[in-house]
Amino acid sequence: MSQSDDPLDNMTTTEVTQILVEFYNHSRYYYTTRSRVDEVSRLKGSVMDFGGSQASFLVQASTLTKRSFVNMTRDIGYYWLRLASYIVVSVCIGTIFVNVGTKFTSIRARSASAFFIMTFLTFMSIGGFPSFAEDLKVSIKSDSTGTTEVSAFVIGNTLSSAPFLMLIASVSGTISYFIVGLHPGFSHYLFFNLCLYASVCVVESMMMAIASVLPNFLMGVMIGAGIQGIFLLVSGYFRRIDDIPKPVWRYPMTYISFHYWDLQGAYLNDMRGLTFDNLNPELPKIPGEYVLENTLMVDLHRSKWWDLTVLLAMVVVYRILFFVMIKLSEDVAPWIRGYIARKRLTRASTVF
């Protein structure tokens, strides 16, 4: 068998690699690159010198707000698909409860329509979890390298999502409000949309806190749906508030449930000031205040604006909780992984 005249055919891969490395180490490319690296490393005020971004907090928050807004605008699954779903569901709600009126049977219909609008529409907000989790992963990587701060991401996400959430709440709220024929008056209409907006914001903020602990899409959606299911059970719709077992379920779960507050506000906004026909036409009409106090167990001494304030406070609490969970995961998670690794090494050394 004849031997090849090409010397590379008679050399191993390791030998060829070593020759290339030696050639590069003595070439002008090596000295040029080395000189450039030394020059960059001597620059003051650079990221290499300080180990992080030198951009101010306001610049980071502004940049992240713009980036999040662009991502939300371009990602059809983030808000646009949800908006389309909300419109379809709102039309369905409106046509089912169309011109609900003030008959005796309308008492139940009004409370049912308010329940479905305030709970199911907010329940659908968990659909944005996958898109948000992806943004969160990018933020965590940037924060670990010192490029951005988590607080800047929280503010940026809050500001960039606000217009989309307001659009979703106002469009779906307007459709369902006027087709159903809820309490007339602009102030009532405005409160209804604000209450729906605050409820959607609470769900978004809650899902942010869940994503900081469970970034897995399936598990995050399941946990979020489970929490909302529990909040629905103690909201006062399925069982009267006074009949809910007081240890744990009424105190504190009822007051932790944001569905309790949005339903209370929606009931007050719609039924206070209305009068309903009695079951027997010969009997006097039923004031809406009587229905609120005796049937729906609504505290008439509390303003509906207080219910809205509680919802907005919950948004802030969940956003702060998200920030704390991210910071804890950054500080505690590496320590836990190191502790587990040390325990395994100790166990392995004992065995051998």
The ranges of the chain with pLDDT < 50 are 1, 44-51, 144-147, 352
Q: What is the pLDDT of residue 70?
A: 87
* Nearest C-alpha neighbor of 272 from the set 289, 253, 293, 297: 289
The two structure tokens encoding residue 24: 């590069």
Q: Does an H or E element contain 209, and which?
A: helix 186-213
Model pTM score: 0.77
Kindly report the backbone phi and psi dihedral angles of residue 275, in degrees, each rounded to the nearest multiple of 5, phi listed first. -130, 140
Q: What is the pLDDT of residue 133?
A: 72
Q: What is the pLDDT of residue 49?
A: 44
* Nearest C-alpha neighbor of 183 from the set 95, 91, 273: 273
Kindly report the backbone phi and psi dihedral angles of residue 287, in degrees, each rounded to the nearest multiple of 5, phi listed first. -70, 145
Alpha-carbon separation of residue 352 from 41, 91, 346 (angstroms) = 45, 70, 10
